[in-house]
A and B are shown apart, each in its own frame.
Chain A
Amino acid sequence: MTIVYVPGDSAARSVGSDAVADSIALEALTRGLDIQIIRNGSRGALWLETLVEVLTDSGRIAYGPVSSSDVTSLFDANFMNGGPHALFQGVTDEIDWLAKQDRITFKRVGIIDPLSILDYEAHGGLVGLRTAIGMTADEIVEQVTQSGLRGRGGAGFPAGIKWRTVLNTSAEKKYICCNADEGDSGTFADRMVMEGDPFMLLEGMTIAGIAVGAVEGVIYIRSEYPDAIAVMNKAIAIASKFGWLGKNVLGSSHEFTIRIRTGGGSYVCGEETAMLESIEGKRGVVRSKPPLPAIEGLFGKPTVINNVLTLATIPAVLADGADAYKARGVGRSVGTQVFQLGGNIARGGIVELAFGITLNALINNFGDGTFTGSPVRAVQIGGPLGAYLPLSSSDISMDYESLLSAGGMLGHGGIVVFDESVDMAIQAKFAMEFCAFESCGKCTPCRLGSTRGAETITKIIDGVDVEGNKRLLLDLCEVMTDGSLCAMGGLTPLPVKSAMLHFPEDFDSRNGGVR
């Protein structure tokens, strides 16, 4: 029997992987060939989707991008034995784009059958949890602190310090909340982890529970990710049946259960306190801090809130030790970053590497420039609240500190590329409109300032008192930054101001709104 991998990841499905899987099954049946199709996650080379792999004596051989109309010719070319074909990509692990990465969190994604615990264990799964069970709570938190792992949702706050606060706060109940409300445009790594390696996230959350003394976990997944929700639900059921989640985690005296909450299509619920409100079933209105969620979080109880990628990295930290993780990266940005190349890019997808690669290397070496083939004009890093940077900043090192000093932020690692056709005044206006649409309404500068901001940029585009309105806009940005509780209002000025700074020509007087 030959094993054929056809990704079931929703990005792969979005370009027809279901039809490819069906065609392969049908063709094999017609030809009387014995095959087993495994719907794996995606390897992250999304430009090659649908990436079909065949397990042969020389390893997994890749073909891509395959569409269902290619299937007959693949069989004719004897692809089941790695035969030559126009879509032949060679041994998957040796594809340059993948071979040059340094994967920790994405180690198993696209390789294993996402819902096979046997496959998971065969590829190093559950080693971290078993290690943690043999340690004291204090030792686990110390390992996480020593690893230097920082929150990968955007803020980059050291995970160990957060965990320590929850551990040291006594309460009759504590919670672990996984923030899977990955709303930033340009980011999809959380989704791919949940769809491609769900047990890793459950393992990370279980370790967190043991470390801080919580017996209940909640994963808050955005409704835009129906496949991720379905896979995580199945994974929880399987892990419970396996005796890993429940009263006695892997036969130990620890208890841990996990349930899923679905978002309501609100971007601001990715902000941690708005997320807590939403899990409590209320409007997703941001809370004032203090009290910190680590002290008074979900239902007023001490709560660890971490992003999917943070919790998914915990098993590797425990399994391989803090030093192995810390050995990667630059300065205070240790370990790896999961970069997500999106937008107008020829080779988009997941690039996991140690911190410190340059933006230029990511966009040109991995991304191979724009999809349209025209030159890169602007790059937005870190989602809709991140800065727009020109290509001249492409030598900056991609780490928290370097980006901050370049006037940007790394955020969740999303990189959106724009070609020459982009109008930066329109992009700045969109940033304000998005804020107006998604603001929770608590802070006036965010709720009203965003609407006034969009109006002001419209005036600039229309050539109405351009210089006066630019000054007004900058003043408004300052009020929003200083007068908003969370990043929604506080950081919306970042894309606006960076667009004005780096692309001033787009904000000059125009002839009837045309640049």
Chain B
Amino acid sequence: MQFPAWSESQALEVISRICDEPGPVLVTLQAVQTFFGYVPDAAVALIANACNVSRADVHGVLTFYHDLRTELPPEVSIHLCVAEACQSMGSREVMENSRKAFATNSSVEIRDAYCLGNCALAPAASVNGNLRGRVSAQSLVAEVAKVAMR
């Protein structure tokens, strides 16, 4: 996925659009991540200032939620479900094989997901946010090739 490079002025614009919401810290962090792909260190002080909370408060929220990330994601993010329903259909093996398949590909990351809501078509994965069912390491390789074509 492509994201604009960090810019303080653009960040302030994103933040100012949402920081008046009630309980603004999480939604503001989410908005920054949606725009830039991640939450850079530099954003923490800006958000704290705009939301009128301490930097510690922002840091606390930023580090609590698994979705929020402090580094730019690679081109392809695969979230492979490793929860029970997918385990019953061999997701542990799919994970192992997928890690091997993408071991040398730095443009792909594989992250654990705990349920994507596709439990009747397990194993499930999401590739850059697109849900896939009945996946295997091979099908994920094919999926990533499609993303690269776009």
Chain A residues proximal to chain B, CB less than 8 Å: 10-11, 13-15, 46-47, 49, 182-188, 191, 223-227, 261-267, 278-285, 299, 340-345, 348-349, 371, 380, 384, 414, 416-419, 422, 427, 430, 434, 437-438, 440
Q: Which listed residue, A185, A263, A264, touches B86 by the CB 8 Å rule?
A: A185
CB distance from B142 to the nearest CB of A (A): 12
Q: Indicate if the CB atoms of A430 and B87 lie closer than 8 Å.
A: yes
Chosen A-B contacts, 6 in total, with CB atoms closer than 8 Å, are: A14-B121, A261-B27, A342-B120, A343-B86, A418-B88, A434-B83
**Which residue on A lies nearest to B57, using beta carbons?**
A282
Q: Indicate if the CB atoms of B131 and A186 lie closer than 8 Å.
A: no
Q: Indicate if the CB atoms of A434 and B119 lie closer than 8 Å.
A: no
Q: Indicate if the CB atoms of A224 and B120 lie closer than 8 Å.
A: no
B136 within 8 A of A: no
**Which residue on A lies nearest to B66, using beta carbons?**
A265
Q: Indicate if the CB atoms of A345 and B120 lie closer than 8 Å.
A: yes
**Which residue on A lies nearest to B82, using beta carbons?**
A430
Q: List the B side residues contacting A437 at CB < 8 Å.
A: 114
* A-B pair number, CB within 8 angstroms: 150
Q: Indicate if the CB atoms of B88 and A281 lie closer than 8 Å.
A: no
Given contacts A343-B84, A384-B84, 11 further A-B contacts (CB under 8 A): A14-B131, A15-B133, A224-B116, A262-B30, A264-B26, A283-B60, A299-B23, A343-B85, A343-B88, A348-B119, A434-B114
Chain B residues proximal to chain A, CB less than 8 Å: 21-28, 30, 51, 57, 60-61, 64-68, 79, 81, 83-89, 113-122, 124, 126, 129-134
Q: Give A369 to B120 CA distance when docked, in angstroms.
A: 13
Q: Indicate if the CB atoms of B26 and A416 lie closer than 8 Å.
A: no
Q: Give A49 to B119 CA distance when docked, in angstroms.
A: 13
Q: List the A side residues contacting B30 at CB < 8 Å.
A: 262, 264
Q: List the B side residues contacting A46 at CB < 8 Å.
A: 120-121
Q: Which listed residue, A188, A278, A422, A427, touches B118 by the CB 8 Å rule?
A: A188
Q: Indicate if the CB atoms of A264 and B85 lie closer than 8 Å.
A: no
Q: Which listed residue, B22, B24, B88, touches A419 by the CB 8 Å rule?
A: B88
Q: Indicate if the CB atoms of A185 and B115 lie closer than 8 Å.
A: yes
Given contacts A10-B117, A11-B131, contact A186 B85 (CB under 8 A): yes
CB distance from B54 to the nearest CB of A (A): 12
- A-B pairs, top 9 by smallest CB distance, nearest first, are A348-B120, A264-B65, A342-B119, A185-B83, A281-B23, A265-B67, A14-B133, A280-B23, A343-B88
Q: Give A318 to B24 CA distance when docked, in angstroms.
A: 36
Given contacts A187-B119, A384-B83, contact A344 B114 (CB under 8 A): no
Q: Indicate if the CB atoms of B61 and A282 lie closer than 8 Å.
A: yes
Q: Give A481 to B51 CA distance when docked, in angstroms.
A: 38
Q: Which listed residue, A188, A278, A384, touches B26 by the CB 8 Å rule?
A: A278
Q: List the A side residues contacting B85 at CB < 8 Å.
A: 185-186, 342-343, 414, 416
Q: List the B side residues contacting A299 at CB < 8 Å.
A: 22-23
Q: List the B side residues contacting A427 at CB < 8 Å.
A: 84, 87
Q: Give A184 to B131 CA distance when docked, in angstroms.
A: 17
Q: List the B side residues contacting A182 at CB < 8 Å.
A: 117
Q: Indicate if the CB atoms of B121 and A348 lie closer than 8 Å.
A: yes
**Which residue on B lies nearest to A14, using beta carbons?**
B133
**Which residue on B lies nearest to A222, using beta carbons?**
B117
Q: Give A278 to B30 CA distance when docked, in angstroms.
A: 12
Q: Give A284 to B63 CA distance when docked, in angstroms.
A: 11
Q: Which listed residue, A188, A191, A430, touches B84 by the CB 8 Å rule?
A: A430
Q: Give A245 to B83 CA distance when docked, in angstroms.
A: 37
Q: Give A417 to B86 CA distance when docked, in angstroms.
A: 10
Q: List the A side residues contacting B86 at CB < 8 Å.
A: 185, 343
CB distance from B46 to the nearest CB of A (A): 16
- The residue among B83, B85, B87, B129 with the most chain A CB atoms within 10 A of its own CB is B85
Q: Give A23 to B57 CA distance when docked, in angstroms.
A: 51
Q: Indicate if the CB atoms of A438 and B67 lie closer than 8 Å.
A: no
Q: Indicate if the CB atoms of B68 and A264 lie closer than 8 Å.
A: yes
**Which residue on B lies nearest to A266, using beta carbons?**
B65
Q: Give A281 to B118 CA distance when docked, in angstroms.
A: 28
Q: List the A side residues contacting B119 at CB < 8 Å.
A: 185-188, 340, 342-343, 348, 414, 416
Q: List the A side residues contacting B126 at CB < 8 Å.
A: 224
CB distance from B4 to the nearest CB of A (A): 21
**Which residue on B lies nearest to A431, using beta carbons?**
B84
Given contacts A342-B120, A380-B84, A427-B87, contact A264 B66 (CB under 8 A): yes
Q: Indicate if the CB atoms of B118 and A264 lie closer than 8 Å.
A: no
**Which residue on A lies nearest to B131, using beta carbons?**
A14
Q: Give A46 to B120 CA distance when docked, in angstroms.
A: 7
Q: Give A17 to B89 CA distance when docked, in angstroms.
A: 22
Q: Indicate if the CB atoms of A422 and B115 lie closer than 8 Å.
A: no
Q: List the B side residues contacting A185 at CB < 8 Å.
A: 81, 83-86, 114-115, 119
Q: List the B side residues contacting A10 at CB < 8 Å.
A: 117-118, 131
Q: List the A side residues contacting B133 at CB < 8 Å.
A: 11, 14-15
**Which residue on B lies nearest to A285, using beta carbons?**
B64
Q: Indicate if the CB atoms of B114 and A183 lie closer than 8 Å.
A: yes
**Which residue on B lies nearest to A341, using beta carbons?**
B120
- The residue among B25, B61, B83, B115 with the most chain A CB atoms within 10 A of its own CB is B115
Q: Give A288 to B57 CA distance when docked, in angstroms.
A: 20
Q: Which listed residue, B28, B64, B84, B89, touches A284 by the CB 8 Å rule?
A: B64
Q: List the A side residues contacting B26 at CB < 8 Å.
A: 264, 278, 281-282
Q: Indicate if the CB atoms of B120 and A344 lie closer than 8 Å.
A: no
Q: List the A side residues contacting B129 at CB < 8 Å.
A: 226
Q: List the A side residues contacting B130 at CB < 8 Å.
A: 13
Q: List the A side residues contacting B60 at CB < 8 Å.
A: 282-283
Q: Give A414 to B84 CA distance when docked, in angstroms.
A: 11
Q: List the A side residues contacting B27 at CB < 8 Å.
A: 261-262, 281
Q: Which listed residue, A11, A278, A284, touches B121 by the CB 8 Å rule?
A: A11
Q: List the B side residues contacting A342 at CB < 8 Å.
A: 85, 119-120, 122
Q: Give A47 to B121 CA distance when docked, in angstroms.
A: 7
CB distance from B26 to the nearest CB of A (A): 4
Q: List the B side residues contacting A223 at CB < 8 Å.
A: 67
Q: List the A side residues contacting B28 at CB < 8 Å.
A: 281
Q: List the A side residues contacting B124 at CB < 8 Å.
A: 14
Q: Indicate if the CB atoms of B120 and A191 lie closer than 8 Å.
A: no
